[in-house]
Structure 1
């Protein structure tokens, strides 16, 4: 889209460099007053150096300064300043280069009696002239940075939308699988049992055959329902078997594969119920995901603990070591964990630490069922 709006960006770089060198040479030829071999050589060197401005922006600018000092030229110095400003992020360096350009253009050559008033006027004019390409170059640099940042944010949003859609689909498939397993399969099983009983008790041959047919169809339907439930619970994965629910035994693998420098400490008694184990696992999973997403480079500590009749887990991370993108989020992760904790008569606490990190702490009864 941007390239369509700015057609000149499609021009090859060698063509642009050739045009700029030609324009700078014409400018030097028309405004040259020092036709000595030294003056001509400095002007030619400054104009030819523009062909290498992309690789050596600061060096090319320094080569154009003698031209600005000995001749009344402007194109070569301004082009070199623009290229340097477009590629450099050192504001102090750019300020020094602007001042150097103004000094070179306002200093009389050869050095003779100096008119201080006119020199000051030319210096101020030179500052304003040199500042223009620098500001324009910084503007283009900021535009590129903004476009790159927007592309990163849009990519992150697309990724999150895809994850959210997958989560919604998995939740709906799991809900449908539960309904089919708990309701439909139960009813079909009753039909098969009743048909079997009727087949045994039937005295009429036609009734016995009908009962046998009903029972056979019911068994076939049950097999198909089990296959459908298996596929639904797989949630689009490659496995065709039912995915087992995570337990505390899976925590170490979760921590090691989290993509974060994390350490797991502590142990819990074997008496922890299955719902409590799932809650502890999901809490660690969500906390480590948030660390990886919102605190790049941070370290995390996962601590399992028991306090009387309660068990829990605390996930604490250090401050981020790198700046993070302001990524969009559903803000439902911690809400879901609190709801899960409430169902188990527990509590979930989450908030920043005094050191600049973040802590998530889940407490649930040992007998949570």
Structure 2
């Protein structure tokens, strides 16, 4: 729209003598010619040749140069083959030559402006040559920038592919290590627990061995799910339902069977708080009891689940150990990962020793 208006106004000024040789034609006709040039310029980005035809005729007949100037620039930005560029340049030379002959035949101001060789050459360079060269430069620059963008995109895609390949290799290596080391050791633990359960005559020992075997088999099941995720990250791995507060009593019973005296307190009116909050609360209790087993051995602990108006609070606190168990190896990332899990859902986690020598872990989870 803007290009058409500019061509119309400048053409009207040229044909009426403000920026060129005044025409003897009546103003309605000159306005119509300028409007025709403006309409051709309006659609010139779709097809530039109609504007070039209008510009050539108007330049030869009236020395009206704006349409030819714009058409020359658009031709430079569009033409790609050397033959078409050469043909366009040859046509422009022919138009300028014909305009020079017409100007010499008409005489007067028209001959002074475009009829002499020097003025005709100057007008030809200014109206056709420079716009055509500028259009060719703009097209070449666009192609260079497009090639640079394509190259950058290709390099980025290759970098992403290399990173994905390295990540997949690392995941496969971790999966192999977990399978060869952890799964093997847990399997041996389950086998020994089964042998102990069958071979012992003590009922309490047999029950403890059966519990250890069940826990080991569950650990192998969970480990198999983790290995499936590591080996095939792009595929959906079938997994069982994640534990929630409904499974909390089973978790507490297992800890009781291992020698911990546990008491559960539910405070507030129980209500549905969302699966994410319940799963997070379950993992908080699970990690807290794991730490009790590691650091306190056989002791007493309290598990409090509080239903607050806008949150779910879980507090696990244990007494000082009665008899210190053999120390277990520490990963060093249990509380760190748990804090990240709680903060990921917008909650807070606080873990600190108690004045009496025990330990307390408190988590508040938005519900």
TM-score (normalised: structure 1): 0.53
Map of 1:66 onto structure 2 = 57
Map of 2:358 onto structure 1 = none
Shift of residue 40 of structure 1? 4.7
Shift of residue 48 of structure 1? 5.2
Map of 2:227 onto structure 1 = 229
Which digits, 9 at most, give the CA deviation of each residue in 1:153-185, with x for residues without a partner? 333333323322322222122111111111111
- Note closer, same or farther for the CA distance 1:41–1:236 as it changes in structure 2 (3 Å cut): closer
Task: Report SS of the residue matched to 1:194.
Answer: helix
Shift of residue 135 of structure 1? 1.2
For residues 165 and 22 of structure 1, the distance between their equivalents in structure 2, rounded to whole angstroms, comes to: 58
Aligned residue among 41, 64, 67 for 1:50:
41
> Quick check: 1:29 aligned with 2:16?
yes
Which runs of 5 or more residues in structure 1 are unaligned? 1-13, 242-369
Shift of residue 132 of structure 1? 0.7
Which digits, 9 at most, give the CA deviation of each residue in 1:95-118, with x for residues without a partner? 223323432443343627999xx7
- Note closer, same or farther for the CA distance 1:42–1:77 as it changes in structure 2 (3 Å cut): farther
Check whether the contact 2:197–2:209 (CA below 8 A) recurs between aligned residues: yes
Map of 1:126 onto structure 2 = 123
> CA RMSD for the aligned pairs?
3.2
**Counterparts in 2 of 1:267-278, with a 5 A limit?**
none
Task: Report SS of the residue matched to 1:107.
Answer: helix
Map of 1:142 onto structure 2 = 140
Task: Report SS of the residue matched to 1:109.
Answer: helix
**Counterparts in 2 of 1:4-23, with a 5 A limit?**
14-23=1-10
Aligned residue among 69, 72, 84 for 1:81:
72
Shift of residue 240 of structure 1? 4.6
TM-score (normalised: structure 2): 0.53
- Note closer, same or farther for the CA distance 1:225–1:50 as it changes in structure 2 (3 Å cut): closer
For residues 101 and 94 of structure 1, the distance between their equivalents in structure 2, rounded to whole angstroms, comes to: 11
- Note closer, same or farther for the CA distance 1:72–1:207 as it changes in structure 2 (3 Å cut): same
Which digits, 9 at most, give the CA deviation of each residue in 1:2-31, with x for residues without a partner? xxxxxxxxxxxx133112211221122112
> Quick check: 1:92 aligned with 2:86?
yes
Once structures 1 and 2 are overlaid, which stretch shifts more, 179-188 or 218-227?
218-227
Check whether the contact 1:231–1:240 (CA below 8 A) recurs between aligned residues: no
For residues 40 and 110 of structure 1, the distance between their equivalents in structure 2, rounded to whole angstroms, comes to: 22
Check whether the contact 2:15–2:30 (CA below 8 A) recurs between aligned residues: no
For residues 124 and 3 of structure 2, the distance between their equivalents in structure 1, rounded to whole angstroms, comes to: 26
Runs of 4+ that moved beyond 6 A: 112-115
Map of 1:264 onto structure 2 = none
Check whether the contact 2:187–2:216 (CA below 8 A) recurs between aligned residues: yes
Check whether the contact 1:70–1:110 (CA below 8 A) recurs between aligned residues: no
For residues 209 and 49 of structure 1, the distance between their equivalents in structure 2, rounded to whole angstroms, comes to: 95
- Note closer, same or farther for the CA distance 1:218–1:239 as it changes in structure 2 (3 Å cut): closer
Shift of residue 134 of structure 1? 0.6
Task: Report SS of the residue matched to 1:56.
Answer: coil
Which runs of 5 or more residues in structure 2 are unaligned? 240-367
Check whether the contact 1:61–1:77 (CA below 8 A) recurs between aligned residues: yes
